Structure 1
Amino acid sequence: MTDAAILGRPAAAGPAPHQPIQALMIAIGQEIFAIETAMVREIIDPVPLTRVAGAKAHLPGLINVRGNIIPLADLHERFGMPAGQTTPDTRIVVIEVEIDEDPVTLGIIADKVHEVSEVSRANAQQTPRIGMNWRPEYISFITKWNDEFIIVPNLSAILV
């Protein structure tokens, strides 16, 4: 039983550097990530995963979403976090992202989906170069939302 919610379509051009963006806030581990709503196609309950032999750890397999076979990304591994456990709050966020100038549809495991909110680029900070378990190119920028730091990931870099 999937509860789909269509959230947006791709934008013709990206927002200006200091324009706020509309983003879906999701939890992965203890971190809050912001996914631009223009990338989000729908949010679904977890579905069975078909593991793929030899797949990269952050792309463990494939899922079937209404007859479409799409890869599933687990960002816990990419960000050096312990593997997530499926809970009643777990969702799959189906997104479309450009990789090598081609649109790719895939699912991202979210431990919890929060809300759609505006994210300000005006207070954006670069990713610190030390003390992190991930590569800085995985992050577009870090900013604040509801008095906590959020990460706006560079999904094109993370998923390759």
Structure 2
Amino acid sequence: MTQKKTTDDKVDKIEKIQILSFVLDQERFGVEISNIQEVLEYRSVTPVPRTPTYMLGVINLRGQVVPVIDLRSYFNMQLAAPTVNSCIIIVDVKIEGEETSIGLLADSVQEVVELNVDDISPPPKIGSRIRSEFIYGMVKHDEYFIILLRVSRIFSQEDLTDIQDVTVNVNNLATDESEL
């Protein structure tokens, strides 16, 4: 938080947040840094049978099974194969009160941006290709707009249950195989 002096020498507090900006289908999105565990270079994802189409599969992150979601697919955008610039953003979400890591596939990660909360505009009523409940605002940064995503609302409860079931099933399978 920074401070600025007003004309009558009172100190007003300017609330700031940091976001990680990333690209999906040539649009810029942002997620608050506080929701992000880490950013990985794209790596091979192990497909899991009978999962929703938006779920690419799972990765092993230091012994932890992490499901990876293709945000393009989830947001009904045109699909594209991962490139050298693609990244997996590991975010923490609560599923039934428990913190769970989920990987979000992005076309590329741009930068960490510090924003004044006052500069954030409300989400647009029209014009966005994704549902407005996922968005908590938009902000102009340099010459482009960043759509700010609300990580806690991207996935429905049903989606989160599916994601958790896949993670548990893969973990159980790995445990069963290690006991052989």
- So what's the TM-score if we normalise by structure 1? 0.79
Distance 2:121 2:46 in 1: 38
Measured after TM superposition, the shift of residue 114 of structure 1 is 1.3
User: What residue number does 2:125 align with?
Assistant: 129
1:76 match: secondary structure: helix
Q: Which residue of 2 aligns with 1:141?
A: 137
1:78–1:134: 8 Å Cα contact kept in structure 2? no
Residue identity matched to 1:23: I
The superposition leaves residues 26-47 of structure 1 with CA deviations (integer Å, 9 ceiling, x where unpaired) of 1112111112111222221222
Q: 1:105 pairs with 84, 101, 106, which one?
A: 101
Q: Which amino acid aligns with 1:103?
A: E
Deviates more, 1:48-57 or 1:61-70: 48-57
Contact kept, 8 Å, 2:35 with 2:151, in 1: the verdict is no
Comparing both structures, which one devotes a greater share of its residues to helix? Answer: 2
Please, which of 55, 63, 68 is the counterpart of residue 64 of structure 2?
68
Task: Report the Cα offset of residue 100 of structure 1.
Answer: 4.5
CA-based RMSD:
1.9
Q: Which residue is equivalent to 1:22? A: 18
Structure 2 CA distance for aligned equivalents of residues 116 and 133 of structure 1:
24
Aligned ranges 1:26-37 → 2 under 5 Å: 26-37=22-33
Instruction: Deviation per CA, 1:4-43: give whole Å up to 9, x if none.
Output: xxxxxxxxxxxxxx72211111111211111211122222
Q: Does 1:91 align with 2:87?
A: yes
Q: Identical aligned pairs, as a percentage?
A: 30
Distance (whole Å) between structure 1 residues aligned to residue 60 and residue 119 of structure 2: 39
Q: Does 1:38 align with 2:37?
A: no
- State the secondary structure of the residue aligned to 2:55: coil
CA distance in 1, matches of 2:154, 2:54: 9
State the partner residue of 1:117.
Answer: 113
1:59 to 55, 60, 63: 55
Unaligned runs of 5+ in 1: 1-17
Q: CA-to-partner distance for each residue in 1:111-153, whole Å, 9 max, x for gaps?
A: 1111111123212222223333321101111111122110111
- Conserved? CA contact 2:31–2:150, under 8 Å: no
Q: Identify the residue that residue 171 of structure 2 maps to in structure 1.
A: none
Answer whether contact 1:63 1:69 (CA < 8 A) is retained: yes
Provide closer, same or farther for how the CA distance between residues 20 and 147 of structure 1 changes in structure 2, counting only shifts above 3 A: farther
